[in-house]
A and B are shown apart, each in its own frame.
Chain A
Amino acid sequence: DGGITQSPKYLFRKEGQNVTLSCEQNLNHDAMYWYRQDPGQGLRLIYYSQIVNDFQKGDIAEGYSVSREKKESFPLTVTSAQKNPTAFYLCASSLLLAGGGETQYFGPGTRLLVL
């Protein structure tokens, strides 16, 4: 059963704590992405990776970190430097096609709340 999974569904963060959101895909996609969604808003790009052991900052990377040690996995760490982390976090993956035009496949999301 192919797809993209995220865990946990809900995550609670205490003041000064780092937390890690999991994203796994078995679609054999080259590229993976992390987006943040605030209530009533569109998605904003945090980080993306097109190949193992390489990743690029998106539009709102401050306070976040990622790793891409395996093709299937792209975990996102929300650090204590992120002062307003409460949001819905969405992971996506896609192939990389010559000339572009890839569809992105999204996971179900993780909702992060600050205690």
Chain B
Amino acid sequence: SQQGEEDPQALSIQEGENATMNCSYKTSINNLQWYRQNSGRGLVHLILIRSNEREKHSGRLRVTLDTSKKSSSLLITASRAADTASYFCATVPDTGRRALTFGSGTRLQVQP
């Protein structure tokens, strides 16, 4: 079963603009991760945020986590055409199960 929803399902922006994607989940988590998928390819890990963290940065990426609202956001600053991809949030529950539960993803198109 899908863990939750991502919003928006699709996003189209111009190069240089910021892109924000949101993710909601249903259960208590150990951590939340964001992955990127280029069309027809495997997934690439972007960033991990633990349940006791509220914000994390990595290069042009900024992730926030609000465990009280069971939600997270991914911000990509100064987007580039090469950022065009699908972005997925995935959660690891605090039950000890290590496998990821994915959201439905946001398809980002960055126009040059």
Contacts and interface: CB of A to CB of B under 8 A. Distances in A.
Interface of A: 31, 33, 35, 40-45, 48, 50, 58-59, 88, 90, 92, 94, 96, 99-109, 111
Given A42-B88, A43-B88, A106 B44 contact: yes
B42 A50 contact: no
B98 A44 contact: no
Given A33-B99, A45-B99, A94-B98, A105 B1 contact: no
Given A45-B99, A48-B99, A94-B98, 17 more contacts: A40-B104, A41-B2, A41-B105, A42-B88, A42-B105, A44-B1, A44-B102, A45-B101, A59-B1, A99-B30, A100-B31, A101-B31, A104-B45, A104-B100, A106-B35, A106-B42, A107-B42
A22 to B, nearest CB: 14
15 contacts: A35-B100, A40-B105, A43-B43, A44-B102, A48-B99, A50-B98, A59-B101, A88-B40, A101-B48, A101-B92, A103-B33, A106-B44, A108-B41, A109-B40, A111-B40
In terms of DSSP, what is the predominant structure of the interface of chain B? Answer: strand
Interface residues of B, number: 25
A58 B102 CA distance: 13
A17 B99 CA distance: 29
A90 B42 contact: yes
A103 B90 CA distance: 11
Which 6 A-B pairs rank lowest in CB-CB distance, beginning with the nearest? A42-B102, A106-B42, A100-B30, A106-B43, A43-B102, A103-B45
A105 to B, nearest CB: 7
Interface in B67-95: 88, 90, 92
Interface of B: 1-2, 30-31, 33, 35, 40-45, 48, 50, 88, 90, 92, 98-105
Listed residue (A31, A42, A99) with the most chain B CB atoms within 10 angstroms of its CB:
A42
A31 B43 CA distance: 17
A109 to B, nearest CB: 5
A68 B21 CA distance: 37
B7 to A, nearest CB: 13
